[in-house]
Structure 1
Amino acid sequence: MANDRLTDVLDATYTCLSRYGVRRTTMDDIAGEMGVSRSAVYQYVRGKDDAVRQLARRLHDRALERAAAAAACDAPPAERIHGIMAAKLDLVLDIAGGSSHAAELLDAKARLSGDICDAFTERIRGLLAEQFAGTGVAAVTAGPTEATGLARPAEPVPPTDPTRPTAPTGSSPTTPATTPIPTPDGTPLTPARAADICLALVIGLESLPDAAHLLRPATYALLTGLLPAPESHS
């Protein structure tokens, strides 16, 4: 019952923030939205600041749960990466799309919730980096995946050159999909840097009106450049 009442408090807090913004919202506003006395609200939160922080944490935790579920699901790596990115984008679109005032909950510089936003972004970055570091990424470059529409078609295998010596049986040739991709400055593209590029894409889409529909094709285009292609042998 207490959890249900706390949920009611946070729901009322969100409604008030959407209407008035963080600074103008008062405990009286929250109590009025719930139809209870202000003292009743104090049974579940210490004050307005506490209510705002708990609300911000709840929203970010729910998004993080979706991202973690996407990262752990039984799907091709490209689809998992897309799911993680979608969790972050959906959080922004759901909050900012409802009210410009509520968008304050997404501001990393906000006094009450900035640290929550930063921690969320760092965890999303970590989930993405884990995907790029995993050996399963090789599956994305192996061929098309009908279920996701994200995997890159496999490059044709060149014919065998009879004059070229073959590797001895039992040898372990280098796996092309794990070969680091050089960047323009010559440094390898690490999983952490690949994760930062994915985050930059999501942040860039957040302000676009058709962001939800653009994410999937944008992810496909991005992964085509980020995921290593099989090396050709001549």
Structure 2
Amino acid sequence: MIKASDDPKQQAILESAWAAFSTYGFRKTSMDDIARGAGMSRPALYLHYRNKEAIFGGLVEAHYGLALDQVALALDTEGTPAERLHAAFEAQGGPAMQAMMDSPHGLELFEAGMSVAGDAIDAGERALRSVYGTWLQREHAAGRVALTGPVDEVARTFCAAMKGIKHTSQDYASYASGMAQLAALFGAALRPQ
């Protein structure tokens, strides 16, 4: 689910951290829990990360790294703008979104993300807006989409709307439904006349 590094130890740490955070929540997860799950000692864990906040930041960075690649691939597929946006929106959340929303600690993990990894989230969101903006420019130049405003503003609106759906959904099913509705609405608005 999380591919962050070609370093197997770092990969094991992030996978262990995700499992621990999903199971115990951010506050109750200890560095010992993460180290044990990664098959290493706590002192060895500290050689890679200074604390669990840094590990959580690494998870956020890994999520966005994977999401950026997957969103770009989804946008480059065949289909209507609505179909391509739906695939991109699904890729943006990725399997991590379903796992987080299915976790009894999902809300705590969302809150932890904002408080301990806000900079990584901001950087990831800027990069996502750039991916959407590049796609919009390319599609508009080819006559396949009509823009409803400046490219940067439309791309920012995509990401802001996705955040709104994430923060107002009670479970993954409502998130998925909202995401599909959003893709259909944006796709209809982008359809050339």
The alignment's TM-score, normalised by the length of structure 2, stands at 0.74
- What is the distance in 1 between the residues matched to 2:87 and 2:128? 11
- What is the distance in 1 between the residues matched to 2:36 and 2:72? 36
Which residue is 1:23 aligned to? 27
Flag the 1:74–1:113 CA change in 2: closer, same or farther, 3 A. same
What amino acid maps onto 1:111 in structure 2?
S
- What is the distance in 2 between the residues matched to 1:125 and 1:108? 23
Tell me if the contact between 1:194 and 1:226 (Cα under 8 Å) persists in the aligned partners. Answer: no
Root-mean-square deviation over aligned CA pairs: 3.0
**How far did residue 61 of structure 1 move?**
1.4
Which residue is 1:221 aligned to? 185
Tell me if the contact between 1:107 and 1:117 (Cα under 8 Å) persists in the aligned partners. Answer: no
**How far did residue 96 of structure 1 move?**
2.2
1:138 equivalenced with 2:143 (yes/no): yes
The alignment's TM-score, normalised by the length of structure 1, stands at 0.63
**How far did residue 225 of structure 1 move?**
2.1
Which residue is 2:133 aligned to? 129
Unaligned stretches of 5+ residues in structure 1: 141-176, 182-188, 230-234
Matches within 5 A, 1:63-212: 63-71=67-75, 73-76=76-79, 78=81, 79-90=83-94, 93-102=97-106, 104-107=108-111, 110-134=114-138, 135-136=140-141, 138-139=143-144, 177=146, 181=148, 189-206=149-166, 207=169, 209-212=173-176
- What is the distance in 1 between the residues matched to 2:137 and 2:44? 50
Tell me if the contact between 1:63 and 1:88 (Cα under 8 Å) persists in the aligned partners. Answer: yes
Tell me if the contact between 2:31 and 2:52 (Cα under 8 Å) persists in the aligned partners. Answer: yes
Matches within 5 A, 1:27-42: 27-42=31-46
Larger radius of gyration: 1
- What is the distance in 1 between the residues matched to 2:46 and 2:137? 46
What amino acid maps onto 1:225 in structure 2?
A
4+ long deviations beyond 6 Å: none
**How far did residue 203 of structure 1 move?**
2.9
Tell me if the contact between 1:84 and 1:128 (Cα under 8 Å) persists in the aligned partners. Answer: no
Flag the 1:82–1:88 CA change in 2: closer, same or farther, 3 A. same
Secondary structure of the residue aligned to 1:139 is coil
Residue deviations 1:84-109, cap 9 Å, x none? 32222336633422325355554587
Flag the 1:116–1:103 CA change in 2: closer, same or farther, 3 A. farther
What amino acid maps onto 1:215 in structure 2?
M
Flag the 1:58–1:109 CA change in 2: closer, same or farther, 3 A. closer
Tell me which protein shows more helix as a share of its residues.
Answer: 2
